[in-house]
Amino acid sequence: MNACLRRTLGRAALPFALAALLGLAACSSTPKEEDIVIEGSVEDLYNRATDLLEAENYKEAARFYNEVDRQHPYSTWASRAQLMAAYAYYKEREYETAVTALNRFIRLHPSHRDIAYAYYLKALCFFEQVRDVKRDQSPSEEALKGFDEVIKRFPDSRYAQDARNKVVLVQDHLAGHEMEIGRWYQRRGQYLAAVNRYKMVIDKYQTSRQVPEALHRMTESYTAMGLTDEARRVAAVLGHNYPSSEWYFDTYELVEKRPVERPPAPADARPFFRRAIDWLF
């Protein structure tokens, strides 16, 4: 968790004292741990929850934070406990439960000092569920919407820049999804459907790294349909905006029907790539 947020939320002032654990008297068998009612002061419960969180026992931490809210709903710690419970669910990867808790927090405390973090954490819950480009992209779309909301509502917050960075990643991922579908149509000779997908990449995700390939694939598709003028027009756009791209050289050869001399790769390109791989793994 962000260190500044941890200091902001803090822990209750008093040390953890004795908490009475009351079982279900009517049951003859041993009650489940999650069914045990926890009684305690607000300080006791909040401190215990924080101890569990720091011990990475996120499920139990969420349970104790929820008890703070349930038993002491009018205390100054209740709203903090609601947000911390959502964070514990996030760390436990119970994203749906975390989003539900965050929606409740946002609805009840729209002016809370940590409201920007609540919106940011909600977007993170969807971001963590972003899937392979070949699968449904609903989490990606929700993540993009969530980060956009953080940027618009809280442009000067400490979370805005990271939200901007993640918007770039999510947009590129969504563009990759559209490219995957477009290539699928193109392989099957459904060129118009493919072109529509590539156009979506260009129009909707203009800053994506997928755009040069989208322009090249559009040129291929127009050429396959016999639309030479359209193919040349798209190739010109690619050459104007990405003159050093490998996709442009491929497109030039396709349109002009002759090879083009390609500039040599930088001398240190391969060593740098090797260093990058070493660092990554």
Report the DSSP beta bridge partners of residue 38.
21
Taking Cα atoms as reference points, which of 46, 98, 48 lies closest to residue 72?
46
Mean pLDDT throughout 140-151?
Answer: 96
What count of other Cβ atoms lies within 10 Å of the Cβ of residue 63?
20
pLDDT over 50 at 27, yes or no: no
Grade residue 4 by pLDDT with cuts at 50, 70 and 90: very low
**Rounded CA gap, 218 and 221, in Å?**
5
Taking Cα atoms as reference points, which of 122, 167, 160, 123 lies closest to residue 143?
123
DSSP secondary structure of 31-51:
PPGGGSEEE--HHHHHHHHHH
Grade residue 161 by pLDDT with cuts at 50, 70 and 90: very high
Q: State the residue for tokens 């930088």.
A: 266
Tens-digit pLDDT profile for residues 33-90? 455 557 778 889 999 999 999 999 999 999 999 999 999 998 889 999 999 999 999 9
**Cβ–Cβ under 8 Å, residues 62 and 85:** yes
pLDDT, position 1: 56
**Rounded CA gap, 281 and 123, in Å?**
28
Taking Cα atoms as reference points, which of 170, 181, 62 lies closest to residue 126?
170
H/E run at residue 172? helix 160-187
pLDDT over 60 at 224, yes or no: yes
For 250, the token pair is 């491929």
Grade residue 135 by pLDDT with cuts at 50, 70 and 90: confident
pLDDT, position 37: 56
**Rounded CA gap, 65 and 82, in Å?**
7
Quick one: what percent of the chain has pLDDT higher than 70? 79
Spans of all domains in the chain: 1-92
Grade residue 274 by pLDDT with cuts at 50, 70 and 90: very low
pLDDT, position 134: 74
Mean pLDDT throughout 127-156?
Answer: 91
